[in-house]
Amino acid sequence: MRLKSLFRYLKPPRGFKLTKSGKIFFFFLFAIIIVAMMTGNNLLFLILAGMLSFMIVSGIESERNIRYLEMMRMLPVQVFAKRPSVMGYGIRNPRNASNRLVIEDILNLGLGHLSKGMTERLSAEVIFPKRGIVHLGRVKVSTTYPYGLFRKSIDFDLSQDILVFPEPIACSTSASLGIEGQGKGKAHDSISHVRPYVPGDPLSSVVWKKQHLGLVSRVIEGGSGTNGIVVLLPGGDPELKLSNATFIILELYRAGSAFGLVVNDYFSGIDSGRSHKLEILGKLACTNGITEPSRRDFYGKAHVIFL
């Protein structure tokens, strides 16, 4: 701990990296220094003084450009693996106007001009490849202003965790069981509602006649009732089961139905609220391995969907 504290104390307050133009500039600078020292030519010393002044002005302007910056990161409420999510950023400089800024995080975002005292909001689509808790580290803001000789940067400690839900993958629930345990075939199914088409939906559920409104899919509901409890059983691909469960939970929520989840020793209870949905999706995101459910008190409460 003491070594880390000492490192943070001794760490330079700004990041510094030469650009391609900066490397060429410093090459000529050192060349002129060597030649001027060897020849004693006053004109070369004058050129050297001009180049050093140019470099000093560049350093002062770049520092003024990023000093006093304020930065914040805005996370989306729902993030699904392998699906685009919008990550937002807010940046402000209460003292000076800033130019040619680059926000470096998961993606790099450029900002040409930031007016003094104004908060500029930027957003970008990001895709997280896996479900679970993802740690987001520090955010860096860099600039090559004014002359592009070097890239100076400042770090913001915006470390935080984001919970990535499993990717929703469409599946059929016609083989699920009802309250009494009887099978529910397609003859007992009915159309609950329609929603915008999602890649992976069965083609048989697409409403082709509504193309002028954009493709939509029918959502089929079993005949045992509107409530549904998703039960995860061992076997098969666990990641696919978690993705299918996510899809079903989202469909039940969109339909306004009460829903629940049973996985391992966890039973969520039955509700239809948004906080209940987020709790279940969070459980699916953090589930490691699927075993036989240890709870049996969900039988008789609602339509049971086994996966």
What pLDDT is recorded for position 301? 66
**Band of pLDDT at residue 183, cut at 50, 70 and 90:** very low
Q: Each residue of 42-61: pLDDT tens digit?
A: 899 999 999 999 889 988 89
199 pLDDT tier (thresholds 50, 70, 90):
low
pLDDT of residue 277: 92
The DSSP bridge pattern shows strands 108-114 and 98-104 to be antiparallel
Mean pLDDT of the chain: 81
- What band does 296 get if pLDDT is binned at 50, 70 and 90? confident
3-state secondary structure of 251: helix
CB 158 within 8 A of CB 73: yes
What is the pLDDT at residue 12? Answer: 64
DSSP class of 33: H
For 14-164, the fitting CATH number among 2.30.110.10, 2.60.40.10, 3.90.740.10, 2.30.29.30 is: 2.60.40.10
In this prediction, residues 62-83 reach a mean pLDDT of 91
Q: What is the pLDDT of residue 209?
A: 52
User: Does 15 score more than 50 pLDDT?
Assistant: yes
Which among 297, 266, 298 is positioned nearest to 280, based on CA atoms?
A: 266
Overall average pLDDT of the 24-42 stretch: 90
The pLDDT confidence band at residue 202, using thresholds 50, 70 and 90, is low
> Tokens standing for 178?
């009802």
Spell out the domain ranges in the chain: 14-164, 186-306
pTM score above 0.75 = no
Closest to 91 (Cα-Cα) out of 64, 75, 73, 107: 73
202 phi/psi in degrees, rounded to 5: -60, 140
What is Dmax (Cα atoms) for the chain? Answer: 101
At 299, the pLDDT band (50, 70, 90 cuts) reads: low
More reliable by pLDDT, 191 or 20: 20
pLDDT given for residue 102 in this prediction: 94
